[in-house]
Structure 1
Amino acid sequence: MDKLISVIITTFNPDLERLNQTLAALKNQTLSADQWELIIVDNNSSPSLSILIDWHPQYTCVVEQLQGLTYGRLKGFNLAVAELIVMVDDDNVLHPDYLKRAKDIMEQQPELGAIGGKSIPIFESQPKDWIKAFYHNLALRDLGNTVILNSWDHTYPATAPIGAGMIVRKSALKNYIDKVNKAGTVIADRSGKMLGSSGDNDIVLEILKAGWQTGYFPELILHHLIPDSRTTTSYLARLINQSNKSWMTVLKRHHINPWPEISVWSLPLRKIKAFITYSAWSNKVNYIKWRGACGSFDGLATKDVL
């Protein structure tokens, strides 16, 4: 039987307990395993991954030696045999009907190039309430129970799919794949300990610019496993700082950046002023937001080669 879906998990030094929860949720999908393939891309884990999955009839684990989430995903995209691809992180627990619903939506609406849904947190420990201010940065979202569709309008839609659980058509990825295959065009994304995270946005923008629609579908639900280490002030400050810097690169490369570029010499003064504006000394939320602003400044001051 031809595979309807290719599920791709790109991972680097994963927490095996969380990864096993991800795999257990895939094992429990209502869509029969003979209708989808499973590809795990090991992005240079140390030691290399050796995961036995005897319950799936078409399972592949491959190594991508070029470090970074973008390269790992590209490896999976090129190996995928199905037209529909589901991008699953190594800490995502899909609802049992996730793949079946994804298949049905994409079959019924051929104009859709990429879709996503709800990403609900499961925290290792109950975090402080202030963490909610940064749900978006932790790839957590619940936009309600109404379907939302987007087309290209020269801006980035706030309701565009996030990388966790994103479903894409392989044919809609053509422009993106062609671009990242060219030297020097890769948007900064997760790589080792680096936390730039705008590769998802780059994928969505290339799909929209190619004339496809994207959509939010509330019936697509996954749980995102969040360890305590990702709810600390230091981690969130570093995450948002590096993510904002890479986000500026995305906006500039797609010519939709609403902010003017700034001079490198102005960075210290801007950061000092922002420290005061955000009252960064007063609480954790304000400090993290200030670090995010500093990342945006760094991105706006960086000269892009394209």
Structure 2
Amino acid sequence: MDIIICTYNNAKLLDRVLTKLSLQKLSSNYQWTVAVVDNNCTDDTTDIVEKHINAQLIPSLRRIVEKKQGLTYARLCGVNNTTSEWIAFVDDDCILSEDWVDKAIKFATSHSNCGVFGGKVILDWEIPPSETLVKYSSAYAAFDLGESAKQLSYYHLPGAGLVVRRQALEKSGWLDRQFLSGRNGTKLSAGDDSEIVLRCKNAGYELWYTPDCVLYHYIPVKRISETYLINMYYGFGMSLPYIIGIRWTISYLLWIALSILYIVRSFLKTIACSITTATGFGSKTDIFIIWNFTKGQIDSFLSILTMNYKERAVRLQLFK
């Protein structure tokens, strides 16, 4: 298994992530490697990785540089520079439990039709979050489907600790063309995880959840605010028209109809939330979240409709 850690100016936390990786306990002589993809870092990332390479506690640890900014480009770089059958995308703020690698390899080798799987994601807040942030914890990749493994019929697997079969990525076409770039520097883009999961599912592979792979997603103070949460939902909204196109590949006209339907539904939710808040039973933050999600959908939908001919031709490749 190849573990790919994409990072951008997060050296201090990356040090913690690599330290935890160096303490992994395996029940068998499994083969695994770690590649850190440096996505134009200007902090101490190079020194941190070199420190762990010199410690020789992480198998085949190396640093790769990807100049094109964006999480998707960094992940693609990691995939193209590794060779194992299974790839684990571990973010630079994900602290793995000490048996995560062992459990992930065991699960992967025992599920022959699985293309993508994820585990339990527990949020590790730097400071206590507000009730609103806890309410929307899924936006921070919190994920817990219980204590038994299960095959999933939907695509909501978080990118934190996402494990993908290389063959599934190849057959999905993701290696040749990606539609969503993910986080880009400080820009809160989204949907890239869902694109990978959906395209692998469309290629005929199963999606799974396993509670045995536990990781702790560290949420720093700078992200623990309602303003940050609201901005994230704009990014979620921006990605939705693209996700609709990937999920329902019947026709371009159906994509238009479904996109409009989702926008109208979100708009009505905004109105309903506003009425509830006006009567004293809601929250203004809920209104801003739903509205930003709606606005993101509208802006993205309009940008796709106004694409030039060449861009539109690429977009139409989604549809059968």
TM-score interval, smaller chain:
0.7 to 0.9
What corresponds to 1:97 in structure 2? 99
Stretches of structure 2 lacking an aligned partner (at least 5 in a row): 250-254, 306-311, 316-320
What corresponds to 1:144 in structure 2? 146
Q: Secondary structure at the match of 2:77?
A: helix
Q: Does 1:239 align with 2:232?
A: yes
Please report how far the alpha carbon of residue 49 of structure 1 lies from its aligned counterpart in structure 2 after TM superposition.
Answer: 2.9
Comparing 294-303 and 222-231, the one that deviates more: 294-303
- Structure 1 pair 133/236, CA: closer, same or farther in 2 (3 Å)? same
Distance 1:272 1:208 in 2: 30
Q: Does 1:121 align with 2:119?
A: no
Please report how far the alpha carbon of residue 238 of structure 1 lies from its aligned counterpart in structure 2 after TM superposition.
Answer: 0.8
Distance 1:57 1:218 in 2: 25
Aligned mate of 2:3, from 7, 10, 29: 7
- Structure 1 pair 143/84, CA: closer, same or farther in 2 (3 Å)? same
Give the ranges of 4+ consecutive aligned residues of structure 1 lying more than 3 Å apart after TM superposition: 256-263, 269-277
Distance 1:26 1:39 in 2: 12
Please report how far the alpha carbon of residue 204 of structure 1 lies from its aligned counterpart in structure 2 after TM superposition.
Answer: 0.6
Q: Secondary structure at the match of 2:88?
A: strand
Aligned mate of 1:181, from 176, 184, 188: 176
AA at the equivalent of 2:22: K
What corresponds to 1:166 in structure 2? 162
Please report how far the alpha carbon of residue 254 of structure 1 lies from its aligned counterpart in structure 2 after TM superposition.
Answer: 4.0
What corresponds to 2:245 in structure 1? 252
AA at the equivalent of 1:249: Y
Q: Is the 8 A contact 1:34 1:57 kept in 2?
A: no
Distance 2:40 2:13 in 1: 18
Q: Secondary structure at the match of 1:215?
A: strand
- Structure 1 pair 295/83, CA: closer, same or farther in 2 (3 Å)? same
Q: Is the 8 A contact 2:244 2:258 kept in 1?
A: no
Q: How does 1:38-57 map to 2 (within 5 A)?
A: 38-47=34-43, 49-50=45-46, 51-52=49-50, 53=52, 54=55, 55-57=57-59
- Equivalent pairs counted in the alignment come to 288
Q: Secondary structure at the match of 1:303?
A: helix
Please report how far the alpha carbon of residue 285 of structure 1 lies from its aligned counterpart in structure 2 after TM superposition.
Answer: 2.7
Q: Is the 8 A contact 2:103 2:213 kept in 1?
A: yes
Please report how far the alpha carbon of residue 105 of structure 1 lies from its aligned counterpart in structure 2 after TM superposition.
Answer: 1.0
- Structure 1 pair 34/141, CA: closer, same or farther in 2 (3 Å)? closer
Distance 1:241 1:92 in 2: 24
Q: Secondary structure at the match of 2:34?
A: strand
User: How well do the aligned residues superpose, as a CA RMSD in angstroms?
Assistant: 2.7
AA at the equivalent of 2:258: P
- Structure 1 pair 98/277, CA: closer, same or farther in 2 (3 Å)? same
What's the CA shift string for 1:103-137, capped at 9, x where partnerless?
11111111111111110011000111221222111
Q: Does 1:220 align with 2:209?
A: no
Please report how far the alpha carbon of residue 161 of structure 1 lies from its aligned counterpart in structure 2 after TM superposition.
Answer: 2.5
Comparing 187-196 and 142-151, the one that deviates more: 142-151
- Structure 1 pair 56/166, CA: closer, same or farther in 2 (3 Å)? same
Q: Is the 8 A contact 2:90 2:160 kept in 1?
A: yes
AA at the equivalent of 2:65: V
Comparing 204-213 and 40-49, the one that deviates more: 40-49
- Structure 1 pair 272/64, CA: closer, same or farther in 2 (3 Å)? same
- Structure 1 pair 47/271, CA: closer, same or farther in 2 (3 Å)? same
Fraction of identical pairs, as percent = 29
Question: TM-score normalized by structure 1?
Answer: 0.85
Stretches of structure 1 lacking an aligned partner (at least 5 in a row): 152-156
Q: Is the 8 A contact 2:24 2:99 kept in 1?
A: yes
